[in-house]
Amino acid sequence: MIQKEKTGSYTLGGEEFIVNKANESYISYADYAIALVDKIKNAKFIQKRFTAVGEKK
């Protein structure tokens, strides 16, 4: 099932594999979009890969 709703919460990481509280590597489309915009605005991962994970509603 694809979740498009924004949960408003996500966790960022570097190249390491991260999971949420349910031990899943998951993020909704909306939360991923927000994480990507935040990454661009804050310039936290310049020329680096990043990982984002969120919780299911």
Residue 46 DSSP SS3:
coil
Please state the φ and ψ torsions of residue 42, each to the nearest 5 degrees. Answer: -90, -10
* pLDDT at residue 24, as a whole number: 92
- Per residue in 7-57, pLDDT (tens digit) is 778 898 888 999 999 999 999 888 999 988 888 888 777 788 888 999 887
Cα–Cα dist 25/54, whole Å: 8
Whole-number pLDDT of residue 1: 47
Residues 6+ away with beta carbon under 8 Å from 37: none
**pLDDT at residue 17 in the model:** 93
- The 3-state DSSP class for residue 36 equals helix
